[in-house]
Amino acid sequence: MWAGEAARLKSVVRVITPDLPGFGRFPRQKGGPSIPQMARDAAEGLDRLGIKEPVVVGGLSMGGYVTFEFLRQFPERVRGLGLFSTRAEADTPEARTKRFKTAREIQENGLEAFARAALPNLLGKTTLQSRPAVVKQVGEMVLANPPDGVADALMAMGDRRDSTELLAGITCPTLVVAGDEDTFIPVDQARAMHQQIPGARLEVIPQAGHLINLEQPPLFQQILEDFIKKLPL
């Protein structure tokens, strides 16, 4: 998912793109699905790489929830924040119930029906109408994941803590990016979050939905590179 950013930024900064539990080569969490544990796993990954200095931590959607949790647990390790297509609020009871129901359906029936239902929410209308290669790419990415990993992720997101109280206390440089066609987490939520974070930078990417870095790669990568280059030493 982040291969484009890693290639673009490799001459500027070291880019680390960890698999989250249940995805790629990272096994499922033994103690049950947990966003806080995902953040601890990320910190342990930095430890294994010998990285002790503060880093820029960024994530998209669920990755943003992990980013908030990393900030909550390890504020001294955060040099900058990237909050992409995400939000600080916890799920409503209705949304939580829906996530758990979907997780059960995936465990029982696999990912095919979930992938078909998810695509209209993951991608903007412009992408759905005019970028068939991206639609195909995202569909294949969803289906390539282990069903149990996706189900775990849904349950972890449903149980995540509300991070709204963190916003006003964020002191590091923060970049908030959203797509103007995102129907899953509408851009107004990004604007509201941006207003609560002191000194945060907001970028709204046109003709992009939820997966902004895959729908508008050059623009997203340029925004990210510019943010990193302007970080104080």
Between CA 203 and CA 89 the distance in angstroms is 20
Burial of 116: CB neighbours in 10 Å, binned 0-12, 13-18, 19+:
exposed
- CATH number of the CATH domain containing 120: 3.40.50.1820
The range of the structural domain enclosing residue 160 comes to: 3-229
- Written as one letter, the residue type at 233 is L
pLDDT at residue number 223: 98
What is the C-alpha radius of gyration for the chain, rounded to an integer number of angstroms?
17
Note the pLDDT of residue 73.
98
The tens place of each residue's pLDDT in the chain, 233 residues long, gives 999 999 999 999 999 999 999 998 888 988 888 999 999 999 999 999 999 999 999 999 999 999 999 999 999 999 999 999 999 999 999 999 999 999 999 999 999 999 999 999 999 999 999 999 999 999 999 999 999 999 999 999 999 999 999 999 999 999 999 999 999 999 999 999 999 999 999 999 999 999 999 999 999 999 999 999 999 87
Identify the pLDDT of residue 32.
85
In this prediction, residue 107 carries a pLDDT of 94
Q: What is the pLDDT of residue 197?
A: 98
Q: Which residue has the tokens 């129907």?
A: 183
Instruction: Kindly state the tokens that stand for 109.
Output: 């029936």
Instruction: Tokens 């758990």: give the residue.
Output: 100
Q: How many domains does the chain have?
A: 1
For the chain, how long is the longest CA-to-CA vector?
50
Q: What pLDDT, on a 0 to 100 scale, did the predictor assign at position 233?
A: 74
